Structure 1
Amino acid sequence: MLFFLSFFFALDQEKHFYYFMEWIYTFFLFHGVFLYYFILL
């Protein structure tokens, strides 16, 4: 039972880590486009 709970917790942590990395990726992508247009103008 304890092993199952720890396994589930590890999967949950991995999912949160994936969402965090996705947020960072979109954040930098948006700012990269903004800086690109700022340099062009």
Structure 2
Amino acid sequence: MIISDIVARIIIKPLELPIGVVTAVIGAIVLIYLMKKGRQRL
């Protein structure tokens, strides 16, 4: 969560993104990676 907060503050300098948006984007990327990794085993 701390990394998400830092990214939310840095990505658009004058504004601050909601931390939930950043966390959701990071979570979606990780989920897609895990799904692809799981399919390669089959």
* TM-score, normalised with respect to structure 2: 0.55
Gaps (5+ residues) in structure 2? 1-14
* TM-score, normalised with respect to structure 1: 0.56
**Structure having the larger proportion of residues in helix:** 1
Percent identity between matched residues is 11
Task: Name the structure, 1 or 2, with higher relative contact order (CA <8 Å, separation 6+).
Answer: 2
Aligned residue pairs, count:
28
Root-mean-square deviation (Å): 2.0
Gaps (5+ residues) in structure 1? 29-41
Q: Which structure's CA Rg is the greater one? A: 1
Measured after TM superposition, the shift of residue 23 of structure 1 is 0.4
- Which consecutive segments of 4 or more residues in structure 1 shift more than 6 A? none
